[in-house]
Chains A and B, each alone.
Chain A
Amino acid sequence: MRPVYAISGGVSKFAKARPDKTFQAIVKEAYDYAIQDIGLEFATFTHLVDGSVASYFSDHFSRQLMAGIMAQDYLGLCPKPGHRVEGGGATGGICFQEAWKSVASGLMDICVAYGFETMSHVETWKGNEFIALASDVSFDYPVGGFYSGYYAMMVTRHMKEFGTTVEQMAAVSVKNHLNAYHNPYAQKRNRYTIADVRNAPMVAWPLTRLDICVMSDGAASTILVSEEGLRKLEAAGAHIARPLVRVTGVGRGTDAMRMADRPHVDYDDFMANYATEQERSSDDTRAYYRRLWDHGTRYPGVHSFRAGRTAGNLAYKQAGVNDPLHQLDFVELHDAYTSSEIQTYEDMGLCRYGEGGPFAASGKAFMPGIDYGLELKDAPECAVNPSGGLIACGHPVGATGLMQAVFAIWQLQGSIGKHFGDGALQVKDAHRGAIHSHAGTGTYVTVTVLENEVSHG
C-alpha cells in the first residue's frame, strides 16, 4: 500500500433543517471549502482529481435513489469514476476508508470523499422509523423498532454487569456539549449539568434526550492524495498545510445484525481473539478479566462491540499503536449515545472492558483548559470527541464519519483555531489521532488512525 495523505476537508454547518438548499448544494459547501483551503480554483481541482467516493445512508430520507450521482453531477465531477458506499451509521467512516483504498492501491492519486444526509425531510419519529428499518425487519423492527431502545438495553446490561451509572453517562453529555460550545459547525452548543441530563425527558430508560444525538442536515468532504497527487496539486499552485497528515492505520469490523444473536464467548476465546496486545501482555489485566469471567461476564454479549474491538485492533496493528490511551492524542468517536461512547472507550482499548463508566467521569477524556463544572479526579490524557461528537455536532449519517475525519485533519494540522475561529478545542501538540465510525447495534465499525509527519520524525 502507498502512503496516503489527508490534506484538506470541509464541513457544512450541521443544522436541524436546511430547507434553503438541496442536498447537492449542501455537499458543495463542504466540497468547496476543502478546495479553497488548499488555495486552488474549482476548475483546477476538478481537472486534477481522479475520482470520488460518495456516502449517504438512507434513500428513504430524501426519497431519492442514486442521490450519489446527483451530488457527483452537481460538483462537476462527471465523467470521473465514483461510487456510493453505505454501511448504516458507519457510512462516512467506510467512505473515508474506501477513498484511502483508492489512493493506497495506486488506482488514484487524488480522491475526494464526500457525504451527506438530509434527515429533516421527515418528522423526527418517522426518521426514527427509517433508522429502525436498519434492524432486522422480520424479528427486530416489529417488536418495537427503535434504536434508542436497542442502545438502552445494551446499557442496562452494562450497568448490571459492571456497575456503570447514569451519572457517568451524563458526564459524557456534559463534556461533549460543552466542547461543541467552541465549535461553530456544531448543531447544539450548550452548557449542561449532570442534573440537566438526568432531568431531560426520558426516551428509553435510562437514556434521556440529552444522552442521545440528534438528527441533522449536513455534509462533509475530504481530499486524500498519494505523494504523486501531492506533487500534482502543488505544481498546480495548491498550498497544502504542513505538517502533512497521513493515514497510518485502517481497521474495520462487523457483527450480526440482530443484537440478540451476538455470541457470549469464554475467557480463553476472548484472550485469544479479541484482547488487545496491551491487555494480553499484562498479568494484572489477565487476572482482572479472569475475575470478570468468574463472575459471569461473557463477550461481547450485548454490552460490548466486538466489531469495534476488531476494527481498533486492526488499525492499531497497522499504525504500530499498542497503548492507545497514551499514544493517541485525541479520538473522534461515534457517540450516538453517551452509553455507546462509554462502550467504545472499552472497545478501543482506552480502558479495560467494564471500566468505561469510571473512565468517563475521571476526566481523562476531557479537554484541558475548559471548565466543565464537574469535579474530575484525573488530568486529561486523551481528548475524546473534542469537537463535541455526534451528541452535540449532530449526526447527518452519511456526513458524520467524514466530519470526524475533517476535524481530525485540522487537529493534526494544528489549524482548529483557523477553521473554528476559536482555538479552545485545539489539542496541544497533537501528533496522532483516531476516528471511529459505527453502524447499527455495532454491525459495521471502522477505526482509522491519522498522524502528522512530525510524529514520523
Chain B
Amino acid sequence: MAKLPSRREETLGGFIVHNIPFPISTEPAALAMLKQMTPLSIEQEYKITYLHSYGQDSPWFAALTNKHLIASQDPESGYTYAFPRGHDMASGAETQWIDITDRPAQVHAFTVCHFGSEEFLPETPFVLALIEFDGVNTLLLTRLMDIDPYQASLDWIGMRVQPQFMRNSKLKPTDVYFVPA
C-alpha cells in the first residue's frame, strides 16, 4: 500500500478575517516593532470573458465543424501552411484555402504531458504532437489519441496518422485531433 505523501497539499481559500493584531499604542517602540512583522497576503480574484474573433482565420474553424481540414497556400509559389495564415511570409500575398483533409500525414514530434497549465491539468496525461503532411511546408499542433501515454517512444515519430473530428464542435483547434492511420 502506498504511503501518504509527506506534505499536505497547499490550497488557497480560508477564513474571512475581520481584525488583525496591531499594537494598541502607536508609541515609537511599538511602531518600530512593525518592521519585524511577517507580511499580510490576501486573495484577489480576476475573471474576464473575452469576445475573441478569429478574423480572417475563421473559415479554418468553420471547416473543422464540417469535418474538413483546410490550409493556407501562396497562389504563386504553392508554399503551404498547415495552420491558417492570411498572407504568405515570403511574397506578402493573400493566401488561398486548400483542403488537406485526406493528405497523408505523420508525426513529426510529440510529447506526453504529465502536468500542464491549470486549465489542462484534469486532462493529463495527454499527448501533444506536431503533424507533417505530404505537400505541406509547415506543421500542425494537435492532440494524439488512441495510443498509450505510458509507452512513449521515439518510434512514434514518423507514425502515419489521420484526423478525427469532434461531432460537437467547440470552435477550437481541438475540434480536430489525430489517431494512428
Chain A interface (Cβ within 8 Å of chain B)?
A: 19-21, 63, 123, 125-126, 128-129, 131-132, 137-140, 142-146, 148-150, 152-154, 156-157, 159-160, 201-207, 256, 258-264, 302
Q: How far is the CA of A259 from the CA of B129 in the complex (A)?
A: 12
A-B contact pairs, 5 of them (CB 8 A): A139-B83, A144-B113, A153-B109, A256-B89, A261-B83
Chain B interface (Cβ within 8 Å of chain A)?
A: 12, 38-39, 41, 44, 46, 52, 54, 57, 81-83, 85, 89, 108-121, 123, 126, 128-130, 137-143, 152, 154, 157-158, 172-174
**In the complex, what's the smallest C-beta–C-beta distance from A52 to chain B, in angstroms?**
27
Q: Are B112 and A144 in contact, CB atoms less than 8 angstroms apart?
A: no
The chain A residue sitting closest to B115, CB to CB, is A203
Pick from A21, A204, A264: contact of B113, CB below 8 A: A204
Pick from B38, B137, B139, B173: contact of A302, CB below 8 A: B139
Pick from B46, B111, B116, B140: contact of A153, CB below 8 A: B111
Residues of A within 8 A of B117 (CB): 125-126, 128-129, 131-132, 144-146
Residues of A within 8 A of B82 (CB): 260
The chain A residue sitting closest to B117, CB to CB, is A129
Q: Are A144 and B123 in contact, CB atoms less than 8 angstroms apart?
A: yes
Instruction: Give the top 8 A-B pairs by smallest Cβ distance, nearest first.
Output: A152-B111, A129-B117, A157-B109, A260-B139, A125-B118, A205-B112, A153-B109, A205-B152
Contacts known (A153-B110, A156-B157, A157-B108); A146 close to B172, Cβ less than 8 A: no
Residues of B within 8 A of A144 (CB): 113, 116-117, 120, 123, 126, 128, 143
Q: How far is the CA of A252 from the CA of B97 in the complex (A)?
A: 34
Residues of A within 8 A of B173 (CB): 138-139, 142-143
Q: How far is the CA of A364 from the CA of B172 in the complex (A)?
A: 46
Q: Are B141 and A259 in contact, CB atoms less than 8 angstroms apart?
A: yes
**In the complex, what's the smallest C-beta–C-beta distance from A53 to chain B, in angstroms?**
28
Residues of A within 8 A of B141 (CB): 139-140, 143, 258-260
Q: Are B57 and A129 in contact, CB atoms less than 8 angstroms apart?
A: no
Q: Are A153 and B128 in contact, CB atoms less than 8 angstroms apart?
A: yes
Q: Are B157 and A138 in contact, CB atoms less than 8 angstroms apart?
A: no
The chain A residue sitting closest to B142, CB to CB, is A143
Q: Are B128 and A149 in contact, CB atoms less than 8 angstroms apart?
A: yes
Q: How far is the CA of A128 from the CA of B124 in the complex (A)?
A: 14
Residues of B within 8 A of A19 (CB): 38-39, 41
Pick from A145, A206, A259, A263: contact of B137, CB below 8 A: A263
**In the complex, what's the smallest C-beta–C-beta distance from B18 to chain A, in angstroms?**
22
Q: Are A20 and B152 in contact, CB atoms less than 8 angstroms apart?
A: no
Residues of B within 8 A of A148 (CB): 113, 115
The chain A residue sitting closest to B107, CB to CB, is A156
Q: Are B116 and A138 in contact, CB atoms less than 8 angstroms apart?
A: no
The chain B residue sitting closest to A146, CB to CB, is B116
**In the complex, what's the smallest C-beta–C-beta distance from B30 to chain A, in angstroms?**
20
Pick from B38, B85, B115, B119: contact of A204, CB below 8 A: B115
**In the complex, what's the smallest C-beta–C-beta distance from B84 to chain A, in angstroms?**
8
Q: How far is the CA of A190 from the CA of B91 in the complex (A)?
A: 52
**In the complex, what's the smallest C-beta–C-beta distance from A368 to chain B, in angstroms?**
35
Q: How far is the CA of A159 from the CA of B126 in the complex (A)?
A: 20
Contacts known (A259-B141, A260-B140, A302-B130); A156 close to B116, Cβ less than 8 A: no
Q: Are B39 and A138 in contact, CB atoms less than 8 angstroms apart?
A: no
**In the complex, what's the smallest C-beta–C-beta distance from B169 to chain A, in angstroms?**
13
**In the complex, what's the smallest C-beta–C-beta distance from A259 to chain B, in angstroms?**
7
| Among B116, B141, B174: residue with most chain A CB under 10 A | B141
Q: How far is the CA of A448 from the CA of B130 in the complex (A)?
A: 32
Residues of B within 8 A of A258 (CB): 83, 141
Residues of B within 8 A of A154 (CB): 109
Q: Are B111 and A145 in contact, CB atoms less than 8 angstroms apart?
A: no
Q: How far is the CA of A260 from the CA of B173 in the complex (A)?
A: 13
Q: How far is the CA of A150 from the CA of B110 in the complex (A)?
A: 9
Residues of A within 8 A of B115 (CB): 125, 128, 146, 148, 201, 203-204
Pick from B44, B111, B113, B114: contact of A201, CB below 8 A: B114
Contacts known (A152-B111, A260-B130); A143 close to B143, Cβ less than 8 A: yes
Pick from B38, B138, B174: contact of A143, CB below 8 A: B174
Residues of A within 8 A of B109 (CB): 153-154, 156-157, 160, 302
Q: Are A123 and B83 in contact, CB atoms less than 8 angstroms apart?
A: no
Q: How far is the CA of A259 from the CA of B109 in the complex (A)?
A: 11
The chain B residue sitting closest to A212, CB to CB, is B115
Residues of B within 8 A of A205 (CB): 111-112, 114, 152
**In the complex, what's the smallest C-beta–C-beta distance from A122 to chain B, in angstroms?**
9
Q: How far is the CA of A19 from the CA of B37 in the complex (A)?
A: 12
The chain A residue sitting closest to B10, CB to CB, is A123
Q: How far is the CA of A302 from the CA of B109 in the complex (A)?
A: 8
Q: Are A153 and B114 in contact, CB atoms less than 8 angstroms apart?
A: no
**In the complex, what's the smallest C-beta–C-beta distance from B43 to chain A, in angstroms?**
10
Residues of B within 8 A of A160 (CB): 109, 154, 157-158
Residues of B within 8 A of A264 (CB): 137
**In the complex, what's the smallest C-beta–C-beta distance from B138 to chain A, in angstroms?**
5
The chain A residue sitting closest to B131, CB to CB, is A260
The chain B residue sitting closest to A147, CB to CB, is B117
**In the complex, what's the smallest C-beta–C-beta distance from B68 to chain A, in angstroms?**
17
Residues of A within 8 A of B174 (CB): 142-143
Q: How far is the CA of A305 from the CA of B119 in the complex (A)?
A: 28
Residues of A within 8 A of B137 (CB): 263-264
**In the complex, what's the smallest C-beta–C-beta distance from B149 to chain A, in angstroms?**
8
Pick from A128, A139, A140, A201: contact of B116, CB below 8 A: A128
Q: Are A126 and B157 in contact, CB atoms less than 8 angstroms apart?
A: no
Q: Are B113 and A63 in contact, CB atoms less than 8 angstroms apart?
A: no
Residues of B within 8 A of A132 (CB): 117
**In the complex, what's the smallest C-beta–C-beta distance from B163 to chain A, in angstroms?**
13
> Told that A143-B174, A160-B158, A302-B130 touch, could you supply 8 new A-B pairs with CB distance under 8 A?
A142-B173, A149-B113, A157-B108, A159-B154, A203-B113, A205-B114, A260-B130, A263-B138
